[in-house]
Amino acid sequence: MSKFWSPFVKDLVPYVPGEQPKLSKLVKLNTNENPYGPSPKAIAAMQAELNDSLRLYPDPNGERLKQAVADYYGVSTAQVFVGNGSDEVLAHAFHGLFQHGKPLLFPDVTYSFYPVYCGLYGIEFEALPLDERFQIRVQDYARPNGGIIFPNPNAPTGCLLGLAAIEQLLQANPDSVVLVDEAYIDFGGESAIALVDRYPNLLVSQTLSKSRSLAGLRVGLAVGHPDLIEALERIKNSFNSYPLDRLAIVGAAAAFEDRAWFEQTRQAVIASREEVVSGLQALGFEVLPSAANFVFARHPQRDAAELAAGLREQGVIVRHFKQARISQFLRITIGAPEQNQALLEALHGL
């Protein structure tokens, strides 16, 4: 511990991102990256922007991207916030919307960045247990709180909460912000953005890292009531006025505008997911119902850590979590068809 640290730093427990192996020829199914590339129109837009104008600052408000998001979802640009990946968007929400002296509520099996942000911003939290089918029990959230957040579909389980249940949460908590983190919504769910005009306490975050294949570009967004968006803008402009560079703004806007490419690649991932589920079940795995671009699976007779190690020896990388309730599960990204086949063949040989 350095004597130069601010006192709170020694108590922080940072987020641990999924491994990014340096070895080549790996079947990398551990970080939920999309096997299909970004929209060719997005790449072309970024290439066109790669010119002398990079000497100039980008638009601090990312208006072109906000307009593309607003057009896509049928909302106003005053309801859209954009940032450097959805993690930054979430960080601003924790900082600007969840510091009310009451505990933030989220599931016990969830995105592991949530407790990290609580530590960073000094927010109390309560992790509420999912039921035996790893589903959110809406009634558990009818208690005093300083906000509610959950991924939908959930990570790492892939389980989806329907819009009717989300409405119940919103109605039961009119004085708290409910943040629905939709990193994976495009692979099997209906976005809660459809509800933002009716619920001023709803904020929906998304990323272009998954369904639009732009994990390397770092673009995230949020949609909600203009009052919530203004809070995020105030935090952003007190932290980093230029979170998105010129390439990111034009590339992300073009990705939203290219609906045909988005639909084609999204459906390809969904079709592959169903094939992987069938293949895993044929090998004796239990697979949770997934609406994401990954599956969460366990084998009743095989230890998950041993399976992950065995797959690694064959050049297939999947994600294993040591948390008690899920320590016998593997989270497996849906890859290209040949990657999925390599996974199933490797498992068959273990």
What CATH number is attached to the domain comprising 125? 3.40.640.10
Domain coverage including residue 76:
40-258
Question: Are both 241 and 267 inside the same structural domain?
Answer: no
Question: Are both 155 and 267 inside the same structural domain?
Answer: no
Question: Are both 196 and 113 inside the same structural domain?
Answer: yes
Q: What is the pTM of this model?
A: 0.95
Domain boundary among 258, 289, 307: 258
**For residues 38 and 47, what is the distance between their CA atoms, to the nearest angstrom?**
13
Question: Are both 96 and 204 inside the same structural domain?
Answer: yes
Buried b (16+ CB within 10 A) or exposed e, 241-265: eebbbbbbbbbbbbbbbbeebbeeb
Question: Are both 82 and 24 inside the same structural domain?
Answer: no
In a domain, 156, yes or no: yes
Residue type at position 226? P
Q: Residue 22 has what pLDDT?
A: 64
Question: Are both 306 and 234 inside the same structural domain?
Answer: no
Question: Are both 220 and 93 inside the same structural domain?
Answer: yes
Q: Residue 23 has what pLDDT?
A: 62
In a domain, 125, yes or no: yes
DSSP 84: S
Question: Are both 306 and 209 inside the same structural domain?
Answer: no
In a domain, 23, yes or no: yes
In a domain, 2, yes or no: no
What CATH number is attached to the domain comprising 269? 3.90.1150.10
Place of tokens 């034009």: 250
Are the beta carbons of 128 and 137 closer than 8 angstroms? Answer: yes
Domain boundary among 242, 258, 274: 258
**For residues 60 and 143, what is the distance between their CA atoms, to the nearest angstrom?**
39
Question: Are both 151 and 271 inside the same structural domain?
Answer: no
How high is the mean pLDDT in each 10-residue block of the chain (350 residues)?
84 76 80 97 98 97 98 98 98 97 97 94 97 97 97 98 98 97 98 98 98 98 98 96 98 98 98 98 98 98 97 95 95 98 95
In a domain, 206, yes or no: yes
Question: Are both 213 and 327 inside the same structural domain?
Answer: no
Question: Are both 66 and 161 inside the same structural domain?
Answer: yes
In a domain, 240, yes or no: yes
Crossing angle between the packed helical segments 113-121 and 85-97, to the nearest 10 degrees = 40
> Which burial class, exposed, middle or buried, applies to 181 when counting CB atoms under 10 A from its CB (0-12, 13-18, 19+)?
buried
Question: Are both 147 and 253 inside the same structural domain?
Answer: yes
Domain boundary among 204, 226, 258: 258
How far is Cα of residue 299 from the mean position of the Cα atoms in its chain?
Answer: 26
pLDDT digits (tens, 9 = 90+) for 200-238: 999 999 999 999 999 999 999 999 999 999 999 999 999
**For residues 235 and 237, what is the distance between their CA atoms, to the nearest angstrom?**
6
Which secondary structure element, helix H or strand E, spans residue 93, and what is its range?
helix 85-97
Q: Residue 126 has what pLDDT?
A: 98
Q: How many independent structural domains does the chain possess?
A: 2
